[in-house]
């Protein structure tokens, strides 16, 4: 199947934004830009009352950055541009006036953890393990870091960032606050998402918009901050260390 991003709004005002990539729902630059645009447009759409962010398939919610695209970056400018895609997605979620429910059905790696953290209410399954693998390829979770640290705190974020080769299970993620709920299977997860989305679709839109401002208070500088972080990643990704590390990962 080909990669895609699609959006659908039902008659109750629930907008589902779904992304898919055959490589474990990894996100190349083009998809990052499209995803940011879809979230932005849903936030401006008067017919949208609440947003569900989801990915296709069962095994992986999002594998983060596309390794094919990372290995093709040859200069700092292009690296900055690529990582700015993650910055745009997170900032579009941050500034969106609609509450965003995250449907986290499977594993999250790197930028995928950032997406889950940037949702306002993440509902996951027991299969939703998480890992920040960036340090293992010579960079760090610079762009997604603020969103993750905001949700789980500095101590837990530090653990993930340093121990880049280890998975944390969904129970760990729930205890740290990344996931609001964890369910034993996808059916139960989807039932809970449908219940919450239905409830929110009947709530006062202005009240939810004001709540969202409160939830994200103190992040008004993130346009600049995440751009600066993207520049750091863009510089590091063209290093000899990163190129060799990515090649090893792709060769496994």
CATH code where residue 143 lies = 3.90.226.10
pLDDT for position 251: 76
**Inside any domain, residue 17:** yes
**Inside any domain, residue 215:** no
Residue 31 pLDDT > 90: yes
CB neighbour burial string for 98-134, b if at least 16 within 10 angstroms, e if fewer:
bbbbbbbbbbbbbbbbbbbbbbbbbbbbebbbbbbbb
Residue 252 pLDDT > 90: no
pLDDT for position 73: 96
Count of positions (residues) in the chain? 252
Q: Cα dihedral sign for 143, 70, 120, 60?
A: negative
**Inside any domain, residue 112:** yes
Give the whole-angstrom CA distance, residue 90 versus residue 58. Answer: 23
Give the whole-angstrom CA distance, residue 87 versus residue 82. Answer: 9
Range of the domain at 112: 4-201
**Inside any domain, residue 96:** yes
**Inside any domain, residue 131:** yes
Residue 184 pLDDT > 90: yes
Rounded to an integer, the average pLDDT of 93-110 is: 98
Residue 122 pLDDT > 80: yes
Residue 133 DSSP code: -
Residue 222 pLDDT > 80: yes
pLDDT for position 56: 98
**Inside any domain, residue 182:** yes
pLDDT for position 39: 98
User: What confidence tier does 130 reach under pLDDT thresholds 50, 70, 90?
Assistant: very high
pLDDT for position 50: 98
Rounded to an integer, the average pLDDT of 159-186 is: 98
Residue 168 DSSP code: B
**Inside any domain, residue 141:** yes
| Share above pLDDT 70 across residues of the chain, in percent, rounded to a whole number | 100
pLDDT for position 96: 98
pLDDT for position 95: 98
**Inside any domain, residue 87:** yes
Rounded to an integer, the average pLDDT of 199-210 is: 98
Give the Å distances, CA to CA, from 250 to 27, 68, 123. Answer: 16, 8, 31
Rounded to an integer, the average pLDDT of 27-44 is: 98
Query: Strands (DSSP E) along the chain, which ranges?
Result: 4-9, 14-20, 50-55, 60-62, 100-104, 107-109, 121-125, 130-131, 181-183
Q: How many domains does the chain have?
A: 1
User: What confidence tier does 1 reach under pLDDT thresholds 50, 70, 90?
Assistant: confident
Each residue of 89-100: pLDDT tens digit?
999 999 999 999
């Amino acid at each position: 199947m080909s990669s895609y991003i699609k959006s659908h709004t039902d008659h109750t005002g629930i907008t589902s934004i779904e992304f898919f990539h055959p490589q474990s729902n990894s996100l190349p630059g083009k998809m990052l830009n499209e995803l940011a645009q879809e979230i932005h447009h849903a936030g401006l759409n008067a017919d949208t009352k609440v947003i569900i962010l989801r990915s296709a398939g069962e095994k992986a919610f999002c594998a983060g950055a596309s390794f094919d695209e990372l290995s093709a970056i040859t200069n700092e400018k292009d690296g900055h541009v690529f990582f700015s895609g993650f910055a745009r997605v997170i900032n579009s979620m941050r500034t969106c006036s609609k509450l965003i429910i995250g449907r986290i059905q499977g594993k999250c790696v790197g930028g995928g953890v950032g997406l889950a953290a940037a949702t306002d209410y993440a509902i996951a399954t027991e299969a939703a393990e998480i890992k920040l693998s960036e340090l293992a390829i010579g960079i760090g979770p610079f762009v997604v870091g603020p969103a993750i640290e905001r949700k789980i705190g500095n101590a837990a974020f530090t653990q993930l960032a340093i121990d880049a080769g280890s998975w944390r299970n969904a129970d760990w993620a729930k205890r740290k606050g990344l996931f609001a709920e964890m369910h034993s299977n996808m059916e139960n997860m989807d039932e809970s998402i449908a219940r919450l989305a239905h409830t929110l679709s009947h709530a006062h839109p202005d009240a939810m918009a004001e709540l969202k401002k409160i939830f994200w208070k103190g992040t008004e500088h993130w346009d600049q901050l995440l751009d600066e972080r993207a520049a750091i990643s863009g510089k590091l990704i063209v290093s000899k260390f990163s190129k060799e590390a990515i090649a090893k990962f792709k060769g496994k």
